[in-house]
Amino acid sequence: MQEATIDAGANHEDPTYELYYWPTLQGRGEYVRLVLEQAGARYRGVARLPESEGGGLKAVVGAFRGGGLGVGVLPLAPPILRHGELVLAQVANVCLYLARRHGLAPADEGRQLEANQLQLTIADLVAEAHDTHHPIAKSKYFEDQVEAARRCAEGFRGARLPKFLGYFEHVLTANTASGGRHLVGARLSYVDLSMFQTLEGLAYAFPRAYARVEPTIPRLTALRARVAALPRIAAYLASPRRIPFNEDGIFRRYPELDDPAPAS
């Protein structure tokens, strides 16, 4: 969890990226972190810096509720990326910006729009996965909405999870330009990284339901393994910078929201 001082050899004339996000959970910030890591970009996790260097949780809150960073549109919520004079929020937006700059997005406009379309569809899946544990109100505790959560999660596992994953499996299969290895274009893109993170999260949160669906998604399963084995991603995952999944993030392991355990 020491993301404050990453420097993997990017262009040093470029301002260092600053990521404003919560320091104790993967959450939506993880989608941005994975692009930064695969890009080998120099970035600082502001929450982990000492307050004397403009860091700490107060700096994260200040980047939105505190009135913003003084340039650009005030973000509603983190993750927020600052890069020189540019301040950006919304995961799909931040990832597109970074991916364009670091060769992780397709070069031509049409394919870039396709990548964005897939990324927004991943965001829809992520939002539905999140809402299984907070169907009534994001601001209320899980314990105060557990019965609604049970019903919501049942529909998610039964219908939405296979639907979304079957869809992405189809997209991989249809992308013959990559031999079914990438979601868009012929090369690795930020969309593949986000798909990896989403599969990891779903497998963490719903281990039984995920194991049930997994045999139907061989190409996604292979993609997940390939991304995990990318040297920079593998190094990141093995480092203390990768915060373990926990029950504060998007993907939470609440056994009552997973498929029932098989009768023993």
If one asks whether residue 222 binds a copy of itself (CB under 8 A), the answer comes out as no
* Member of 135, 205, 241, 259 binding a copy of itself (CB under 8 A): 135
How far apart CA 113 and CA 106 sit, in angstroms, is 9
Q: Which is nearer to a copy of itself, 45 or 106 (CB)?
A: 106
Q: Which is nearer to a copy of itself, 97 or 206 (CB)?
A: 97
Query: Minimum distance between the CB of residue 46 and a copy of itself, rounded to whole angstroms?
Result: 18
Indicate the angle between helix axes 190-205 and 29-39, nearest 10 degrees.
130
Identify the CA nearest to 36 among candidates 101, 88, 86, 119: 101
How far apart CA 125 and CA 201 sit, in angstroms, is 11
If one asks whether residue 73 binds a copy of itself (CB under 8 A), the answer comes out as yes
How far apart CA 212 and CA 216 sit, in angstroms, is 8
Q: Which is nearer to a copy of itself, 8 or 148 (CB)?
A: 148
Exposure b/e, 183-200, CB count within 10 A at least 16 = b: bbbeebbbbbbbbbbbbb
If one asks whether residue 117 binds a copy of itself (CB under 8 A), the answer comes out as yes
* Member of 131, 181, 186, 214 binding a copy of itself (CB under 8 A): 131
If one asks whether residue 66 binds a copy of itself (CB under 8 A), the answer comes out as no
If one asks whether residue 121 binds a copy of itself (CB under 8 A), the answer comes out as yes
Please choose, out of 40-48, 55-63, 81-89, 234-242, the segment that lies near a copy of itself by the rule CB under 8 A.
81-89
Query: Minimum distance between the CB of residue 167 and a copy of itself, rounded to whole angstroms?
Result: 5
How far apart CA 186 and CA 80 sit, in angstroms, is 29
Subset of residues 174 to 203 that bind a copy of itself, contact rule: CB under 8 A: 174-175, 184
- Using CA atoms, how far residue 93 sits from 42, 87, 98, 127, 166, in Å, is 19, 11, 9, 16, 25
* Member of 35, 41, 92, 217 binding a copy of itself (CB under 8 A): 92
What string of H, E and C letters represents the secondary structure of 172-208? HHHCHHHCCCCCCCCCCCHHHHHHHHHHHHHHHHCHH
Which residues are at the interface with a copy of itself (CB under 8 A)? Answer: 72-76, 85-86, 88-90, 92-93, 96-97, 110, 113-114, 116-118, 120-121, 124, 127, 131, 135-140, 145, 148, 151-152, 155, 159-160, 164, 167, 170-171, 174-175, 184
